Structure 1
Amino acid sequence: MSARRPELSRRGFLTGSLLVAAGSVLTTACSTDPTGGSASGAETTLNVWYHAYGEAGTQQAVLRYATAFTKANPDIAVKVTWVPGDYAGKLNATLLTDAAPDVFEIGDFSEGLARRGQIAALDDVYGSARSDFNKNAVDAVGVDGKLYGVKMIDDVMMLYYRKSVLAKAGIAPPTTFDELVTAAKALTTKKSKGLFVGNDGLGDSATLAVFSNGGDLVTPDGKVAFGSAQALEALTGLKRLRDDKSLLLGFTTDWWDPAAFTQGVVPMQWSGLWAMPAVAAALGDDFGVVPWPAFKAGGAPVVRVGGWTSCVNAKGRNVAAAKRFVQWLWVEQADLQRDFAESYGFHVPPRTSVAATAKKLSDGPAKETVGLAQQHGRHYPGTWDTAVSSAFNAAAAKIAGGEGDPAALLADAVRKAQSEIDKQLGR
C-alpha cells in the first residue's frame, strides 16, 4: 500500500464520507464538509481522510476505529472520508482550501508539506513511545529534528519466486544482479517471460538498482545523489533485461497485484508483502521471497519500505483534537494497529512491540520478509516528490531502453531534480 507507485488506480471502488458520532455511523454524500456532528453532542467533529484501499474490509475497519475513538472521547465525533482515484492530487488541492481535512494519510512522506507549514509537528503525540517505533518509521517523517507524522503501516516490497519452477530449471534464487539477469533469461520461454517488475518494464527497478550498487537518491542536506558513477553503472545494467526480452510487459494488472505470479505467467515478480495472503492462497508454500539482489560484489541487497503515514492539518481548526485522534489510534491502540497490519493484506506495524506480537507475520515467508526489511529496508527521501522522481524515472526509462547517451540523460535529470529540490527547500 505504498503511495510511490501507481497503486491508487486499484483502489477507486468506493467513495463517500461517513460520520461516526456517539457510536453510530451515518452515511453522507461525497462532500468533505462534516454534517450531523451536533446530533452526537460532541463539541468537535474531525474530518479524517483515507485513500480508497482495495483490500476488502479496510473501510469497515477504519469506521470501527473511529467509532471506538468517539466512545472513548465522546466530545469528539469523527467523519471518515473515503477518497477514490487520484488521492494525492485531491488531497493536495483540498489542503489549499477551507475544506481541508483535520487528519489525513499520505504515502511516501513529503517533507515539503512540513516546510510549507501544512502539517503539524507531532513529537508530543509520540511521547515515550517514540523509542518503540522502528528507525525507518521515525527517520522517514523527520524534518529538521521534528517528527511530522505517525507511520500507520510499513509496506515492504520484495521479489517473489516460484520454488518449483526455479528448482526444475536448476536455478537458485538470485543474490546478484548478474544472477537475476541469467535467471530471468533462462526462465523465459515462447509462452512466458522470466520476470515482472512492472508494465512499463521499470517499476521500482531503477531506484533499486541505484541502492543496490551503493548509490543514493538524495542526500540528507538536499543534494541530488543519483548522478554518481555507481548509479549510472547500475541503471545502464538494467538494459540487459530489456535486451534479453525477459521482462513481462503490459500485463492486465501492474506489479502491485500478484496475478501474473499466481497465474503462472512469470516465475519471478517484484511485489509487496500486502499480496502475500493472495499468493499463499493460490500457491500454498510453493513460493519464496528475496530482496532485490546486490548489483555486484560489494553492493547491497534492497527491499523497499513504503507505507502510509497519519498527519495533522496544521492550519485546521481542530489541531488539538486531531492530535488526540492520531495519538489514540496510532500510538496507544496496539490491538487496532495489529488488526490494520494483519487483517487486510499483510503489512508491518511500525511499532516494534506491536510487530513482535503480530502472529500472522511470525512464521514462513511473512516472517522472512519482516527480517529482510530490518536488514535491507530503504525508504525514499522526503524530498522525493513527483517532480523529482519523474525527472529520475524518465531518464532511467530511456537508459534502460537504450535511448540516448546514459551519462547525458542522467546529468540532465540531476539538473532538473536539483532545481525542484531547491524550490522545496527555499534555496
Structure 2
Amino acid sequence: MSARRTELSRRGFLTGSLLVAAGSVLSTACSTDPNGGSGSGAKTTLNVWYHAYGEAGTQQAVLRYATAFTKANPDIAVKVTWVPGDYSSKLNATLLTAAAPDVFEIGDFNENLARRGQIAAIDDVYGSAKSDFNKNAVESVGVNGKLYGVKMIDDVMMLYYRKSVLSKAGIKPPTTFDELVAAAKALSTKKSKGLFVGNDGLGDTGTLAVFSNGGDLVTPDGKVAFGSAQALEALTGLKRLHDDKSLLLGFTTDWGDPSAFTQGVVPMQWCGLWAMPAISEALGDDFGVVPWPAFKTGASPVVRVGGWTSCVNAKGKNMEAAKKFVQWLWVQQSDLQKDFAESYGFHVPPRASVAATAKKLSSGAAKESVVLSQKYGKHYPGTWDTAVSSTFNAAAAKIVAGEGDPAGLLADAVKKAQGEIDKQRGA
C-alpha cells in the first residue's frame, strides 16, 4: 500500500520485535533483545523493519520469510521489527541513532536518504536480474546513476466505478476530465455524492491533474515543474468538482480504504489495487477500473504507482549481511515475492517474470489494472518529500476551494518547494 495514504485499520499479533535464527522463531514475546534469550550461534543479527501493513497475514508472512532466510543462512539471525503508527517519523528519528535498523522499507522512495548517506547503493544486489525489473521500479530508486533500494511491491492506484450504477444512469466510464466532472455531477443526489477522492476533497488529485495535462512535478535535475501553464490549467479545472458539490467529504475512512465504495456510498472512488480483493468480495464483478482521465485532448490518462522499497543502512555494522538478506528475498526468491504481492491484498511484483506468473493478477479487473499501470503509470520523483508535497498540496487545496489567485498561489508554492529541494540537494 502507498506510504502517502491514510492507513487501513491495523491488525496483527504483536507490535514489537521477534528474533528468527536457524530457521525458527526464537521468541514469541515482544522483545528488543537481539539474542532472544537463545544460544542460536548466529554470528550476525540483522534488525529488519516493516511498517504495520493493514492486510491480514502480512506480519506472519514476513516472519516466515525471515525463517526461510535463516534456514538457508544459519549464521545470520533476523530480528523482525513491526512498527505501528507513524512509521516514517519513527524511522527517520531512529536512523540518526545507534539503534538504526540494518534493513528497512520506505514508501515512495526519497532520494534525500541517499544524499545524506543514510542508505547504501546496492547495484551489486541486482546482478543479472536488473533487466527483469520494470522501468518504473528501477528509475524510482536511482540517484546519480546508482540504485539505492530494491522495489518490493508496486502499489497501483486508479479509479473504481460501479458498473450497474453507471449503466442505470446511462453513463459510460469517464475517459476525459470533462466526462468525469459530468459523471460525478449526474451521479450526485441530495443524499449522496458521485465521487470520493479523499476526506479533504483533494487526495492525489492535485498531482494527478498535473500529470494528466502533460505536466510534471519536479525535473530530474531538481527543478520544480508544477508551476507550468499545464499544471495551473489542470489544477484550476479541479475546482469544477468542488463547485458542483460532487465530492464525498469527511467519510469514516479515507480513500485508501474501499468502504465508501463497497458500502454503496459513492459509485466512483479513487483507490488502490490492494483493495481489490475486498471490493470483489463485496461487489462480485459489479465494478470496473479506469485511469484518472486525461485533462484534455492530446494529454494522457494517469495511473499512480507507489509501493514499498527495501533499503540497506549505509552506516550499519552488518552491511554485507543486510545486502545478502535483501538480495535473497527481493531478487532471488520469486515464489515469496509472488506470495507477498498477491496473498495480502493485491500488489504488482516489480519483476516482470514474477508478475507474469501471478495468477491472481492474470485476469479480470486485476489484469486490467496491471496493464494500465504499465501504460500510464507515474511515480513521484525522489525529491517529493513531505516538505515539498505539503507545500504543493496546500496550494492545490486553496486553488480548488477558490481561496486566492491560482497563479499567485502556485508561484509561491514553487518558490518555497524549490528552496526545500535545493536544501535536499545541497545547493
Report TM bin, short chain: over 0.9
The alpha-carbon deviation at position 11 of structure 1 amounts to 3.2
**3-state DSSP of counterpart to 1:6:** coil
Q: Which residue number corresponds to residue 408 of structure 1?
A: 408
1:11 aligns with 2:10: yes
Query: How do 1:176-195 residues align onto structure 2 when only pairs under 5 Å count?
Result: 176-195=176-195
**3-state DSSP of counterpart to 2:203:** coil
1:131 aligns with 2:131: yes
Tell me, yes or no, if the aligned pair for 2:27 and 2:36 is still in contact at 8 Å. no
Task: Give the letter for the 1:416 counterpart.
Answer: K
Q: Which residue number corresponds to residue 158 of structure 2?
A: 158
Counterparts of 1:26 and 1:222, CA distance in 2: 47
Q: Which residue number corresponds to residue 71 of structure 1?
A: 71
1:169 aligns with 2:169: yes
1:88 aligns with 2:108: no
Residues 37/121 of structure 1: CA separation in 2 closer, same or farther (3 Å cut): farther
The alpha-carbon deviation at position 394 of structure 1 amounts to 0.2
Q: Which residue number corresponds to residue 217 of structure 1?
A: 217
**3-state DSSP of counterpart to 1:39:** coil
Query: How do 1:347-358 residues align onto structure 2 when only pairs under 5 Å count?
Result: 347-358=347-358
The alpha-carbon deviation at position 25 of structure 1 amounts to 1.2
Counterparts of 2:174 and 2:61, CA distance in 1: 38
The alpha-carbon deviation at position 38 of structure 1 amounts to 5.9
Tell me, yes or no, if the aligned pair for 1:125 and 1:327 is still in contact at 8 Å. yes
Counterparts of 1:31 and 1:24, CA distance in 2: 16
* Count of aligned pairs: 426
Tell me, yes or no, if the aligned pair for 2:198 and 2:249 is still in contact at 8 Å. yes
Q: Report runs of 4+ in structure 1 exceeding 6 Å deviation.
A: none
Q: Deviations over 1:137-188 (max 9, x none)?
A: 0000000000000000000000000000000000000011100000000000
Counterparts of 2:381 and 2:136, CA distance in 1: 11
Q: Which residue number corresponds to residue 40 of structure 1?
A: 40
Counterparts of 1:134 and 1:275, CA distance in 2: 22
Instruction: Report % sequence identity.
Output: 86
Tell me, yes or no, if the aligned pair for 1:21 and 1:37 is still in contact at 8 Å. no
Q: Which residue number corresponds to residue 208 of structure 2?
A: 208
Query: How do 1:292-311 residues align onto structure 2 when only pairs under 5 Å count?
Result: 292-311=292-311
Counterparts of 2:30 and 2:418, CA distance in 1: 39
Counterparts of 1:37 and 1:132, CA distance in 2: 41
Q: Deviations over 1:204-237 (max 9, x none)?
A: 0000000000000000000000000000000001
Counterparts of 2:4 and 2:260, CA distance in 1: 21
Counterparts of 1:227 and 1:27, CA distance in 2: 53
Tell me, yes or no, if the aligned pair for 2:26 and 2:38 is still in contact at 8 Å. no
The alpha-carbon deviation at position 22 of structure 1 amounts to 1.7
Task: Give the letter for the 1:72 counterpart.
Answer: A
Tell me, yes or no, if the aligned pair for 1:28 and 1:35 is still in contact at 8 Å. no
**3-state DSSP of counterpart to 1:40:** coil
Counterparts of 1:145 and 1:66, CA distance in 2: 31
**3-state DSSP of counterpart to 1:10:** coil
Q: Deviations over 1:91-145 (max 9, x none)?
A: 0000000000000000000000000000010100000000000000000000000
Q: Which residue number corresponds to residue 254 of structure 1?
A: 254
Counterparts of 1:101 and 1:417, CA distance in 2: 30
Q: Which residue number corresponds to residue 272 of structure 1?
A: 272
Q: Deviations over 1:291-340 (max 9, x none)?
A: 00000101110000000000000100000000000000000000000000
Tell me, yes or no, if the aligned pair for 2:118 and 2:313 is still in contact at 8 Å. yes
Residues 366/85 of structure 1: CA separation in 2 closer, same or farther (3 Å cut): same
Counterparts of 1:360 and 1:238, CA distance in 2: 35
Residues 123/38 of structure 1: CA separation in 2 closer, same or farther (3 Å cut): farther
Tell me, yes or no, if the aligned pair for 1:47 and 1:101 is still in contact at 8 Å. yes
**3-state DSSP of counterpart to 1:18:** strand
**3-state DSSP of counterpart to 1:330:** helix
Task: Give the letter for the 2:9 counterpart.
Answer: R
Tell me, yes or no, if the aligned pair for 2:18 and 2:30 is still in contact at 8 Å. no
Task: Give the letter for the 2:254 counterpart.
Answer: D
Query: How do 1:302-381 residues align onto structure 2 when only pairs under 5 Å count?
Result: 302-381=302-381
The alpha-carbon deviation at position 35 of structure 1 amounts to 3.1
Tell me, yes or no, if the aligned pair for 1:17 and 1:27 is still in contact at 8 Å. no
More displaced stretch, 32-41 vs 174-183: 32-41
The alpha-carbon deviation at position 191 of structure 1 amounts to 1.5
Query: How do 1:24-39 residues align onto structure 2 when only pairs under 5 Å count?
Result: 24-27=24-27, 32=32, 34-36=34-36, 39=39
Counterparts of 1:38 and 1:146, CA distance in 2: 39
Q: With structure 1 as the length reference, what TM-score do the two structures score? A: 0.98
Counterparts of 1:65 and 1:97, CA distance in 2: 27
Unaligned regions of 5+ residues in structure 1, if any? none
Q: Deviations over 1:49-84 (max 9, x none)?
A: 000001000000000000000000010000100000
Q: With structure 2 as the length reference, what TM-score do the two structures score? A: 0.98
Unaligned regions of 5+ residues in structure 2, if any? none
**3-state DSSP of counterpart to 1:165:** helix
The alpha-carbon deviation at position 27 of structure 1 amounts to 3.7
Query: How do 1:236-251 residues align onto structure 2 when only pairs under 5 Å count?
Result: 236-251=236-251
Tell me, yes or no, if the aligned pair for 1:17 and 1:28 is still in contact at 8 Å. no
1:387 aligns with 2:387: yes
Q: CA RMSD in A?
A: 1.2
Tell me, yes or no, if the aligned pair for 2:159 and 2:290 is still in contact at 8 Å. yes
Counterparts of 1:26 and 1:157, CA distance in 2: 38
